[in-house]
Structure 1
Amino acid sequence: MSKKLELPECYEVLRPRVEKTLTPIVRVKAEEGATGIFDSKFGGNPYFPIDSEYPRDADGFPMKLLAQLNFEQIPHLDGYPTSGILQFYLSTKDGCFGFDYGGKVEHKNYRILFFDGELKGEDQLLRDFDFVKLTDEDEFPLYTGSEAKLTFTPDEEYMNLLDFRVEKETGMKSDWIPELEDFYTQSSEMAMKHKIGGYPGFTQCDPRGEYEELASYTKLLLQIDSDDAIGCEWGDAGVGNFFITEEDLAKRDFSKVYYNYDCC
């Protein structure tokens, strides 16, 4: 597969460098619908062994499943798991969707769980999740409490102008240049939508360029965009991203995932 790269004339000289950033990704399409307990999904109920400790936020409240990825259902990406179930949980009680400002990686109000190896049978799984149903006081990106089934498509993408590495890797400037407004807008739009891998999108700026301790978080585990079709809204038309270091991904260590969301 190949993607046509359109560059403004002033950046044509940089084409070889930009083309080197082309990387495989998996596009994710979400649509409301019931899912099985082992299925990939946004929202809904997780695969959860009864002998495991359910994730709770800093105040002891149970967190809610944002997303579940069953890698046996997902086209393979180099370096990513080929099996196992990866889950993303957020607090519904802190008013910021579990996000911690300041480049922190503390997992206080969000949690990432990975179930690898042989999965347990349904008779060994938790089935009653009434204790974590959304109330009118809760805050959660899937504000309707909807459940979305997912389909996956292999794709490729180039590094966009929002990525903190773009000037170093390609020579393109991330600063706003009025003459390049259309190109900047196109690059930003292409960075959005739901996906696994590749280069993230933001409505503000890339926090990995602001905090030195985040510079090694180069692998995008999952991006979930605002999506009216499934009742998903990150503040005002925002986007949520989950990052991991290449080293931790190789070790399948999801205990230090960095989570960010921003909005307009």
Structure 2
Amino acid sequence: MDDLESTTARPSIEISTDSVGPLPVSASKLGGTPYLPAGEPAPQGRVAPLTFLAQIRLEELPDNDFLPDAGLLQFWIGRDDLYGMECDDLRAGDYRVVHYPSIDESVSKEDVLARYVPANLDDEDELSPFETNDSLALSFTMTSQPLSKDDVSFGKAFSDLWSTMFPEVPLEAWWKLPKDLTEALYDRFATSGHRLGGYPCFTQWDPRGTNSLEKEAVLLLQIDSDDHIMWGDVGVANFFILPQELAAGDFSRVAYTWDCC
């Protein structure tokens, strides 16, 4: 397992949620009042306004080589029962990812709320994964993350390593190993929690290679269920991007998916 960990590790920025309450409109946050440039309308879905999910002040992140150095990266989702996800085409849903290269600090909360109305959590027609319309403050930690057991490439990576180390012992599938070994793999290569970059986790399966989403797409943002946000039945949401589009700072074709138990 050490070899699999060391050969597949990639940088990932873990996201921790802190206090719940009002924050400056331009702060890194989950939920609450977003930043909007002066005069710009809030993103609109096909039939209803989108819900603000998260924004990241990029200069607050640890040094990394996969995200822009400055500005604000923002994520919006739909208010329907699938929160804007389109199951058959993960780029065709009712959601938006926006990168603002610069931030106007003069924009006030009152100005934003004149253009953005948060989801009414008491209205059964306006659905949201949030338990409250307050903001969650965010903090960031750079980590080195091994390949996730849920990743579409985990089976082949494990099988290749097994064949190298134990060529005389055929392996049908890693999850058919003895229970103590599979439990150890589950524990060591689990990747729950909120993060930027790295490897994703799923409660069902990795959709890459299907659903119009290329196998080469990499994780941009993962938002997990916790005490303040709930994706269905303790699910997890992921945003994916092609490496060449991420390198170019092009967030126009980010794919969005979430699943639950």
| TM-score, length-scaled by structure 1 | 0.84
Question: Once the two structures are superposed, what CA deviation does each residue of 1:122-144 show, in whole Å capped at 9, x if it has no partner?
Answer: 15884325752222222111132
State how far apart, in whole Å, the 1-side matches of 2:65 and 2:107 are. 34
User: Which contiguous aligned blocks of 4+ residues in structure 1 show a shift greater than 6 angstroms?
Assistant: none
The residue aligned with 1:56 is: 44
* Residue ranges of structure 1 left out of the alignment (5+ in a row): 1-6, 8-14
| 1:222 partner letter | L
Aligned equivalent of 1:154:
142
Partner of 2:12: 25
CA distance in structure 2 between the partners assigned to 1:176 and 1:187 by the alignment? 17
Deviation at 1:242, TM superposition (A): 0.7
Residues 114 and 30 (structure 1 numbering): CA distance in 2 closer, same or farther, change over 3 Å? same
- Specify the SS of the correspondent of 2:152: coil
**Range moving further from structure 2, 244-253 or 127-136:** 127-136
Separation in 1 of the partners of 2:211 and 2:78? Answer: 24
Aligned to 1:195: 195
Aligned residue in 2 for 1:208: 208
Inter-partner Cα distance in structure 2 for 1:75 and 1:27: 10
Equivalence for 1:241: 238
Is the 8 Å Cα contact of residues 192 and 225 (structure 1) preserved in structure 2?
yes
Structure 1 pair 212–134 and aligned structure 2 pair: CA distance change class (3 A): closer
Alignment-mate amino acid for residue 88 of structure 2: G
Q: How many pairs were matched up? A: 243
Contact 1:49–1:124, Cα closer than 8 Å, also in 2:
no
Report the Cα distance in structure 2 between the residues aligned to 1:243 and 1:21, rounded to whole angstroms: 19
State the alpha-carbon separation in 1 of the partners of residues 212 and 175 from structure 2. Answer: 20
What residue in structure 1 maps to residue 94 of structure 2? 109
1:213/1:27 CA distance change after superposition, 3 Å: closer
Cα offset, 1:212, TM superposition: 6.2
Contact 1:18 1:170 in 2 (8 A): no
**What is the Cα deviation at residue 214 of structure 1?**
2.2
Q: C-alpha distance in 2, partners of 1:57/1:215? A: 27
Which of 60, 63, 69 pairs up with 1:82? 69
Contact 2:38 2:107 in 1 (8 A): no
Residues 174, 199 of structure 1: alpha-carbon distance in 2 compared, 3 angstrom cutoff: farther
What are the equivalent positions in structure 2 for 1:1-264 lying under 5 Å apart?
Answer: 7=1, 15-31=2-18, 32-59=20-47, 61-92=48-79, 94-106=80-92, 108-116=93-101, 118-123=102-107, 126-129=111-114, 131-135=116-120, 136=122, 137=124, 138-171=126-159, 173=173, 175-179=175-179, 180-187=181-188, 190-211=190-211, 213-218=213-218, 220-228=219-227, 231-264=228-261
Deviation at 1:167, TM superposition (A): 2.8
| In 2, Cα distance between equivalents of 1:143 and 1:241 | 19
Distance 1:182 1:17 in 2: 16
Deviation, 1:209, is 3.8
Identity score, percent: 33
Identify if the C-alpha distance between structure 1 residues 174 and 87 changes in structure 2 by more than 3 Å, giving closer, same or farther: farther
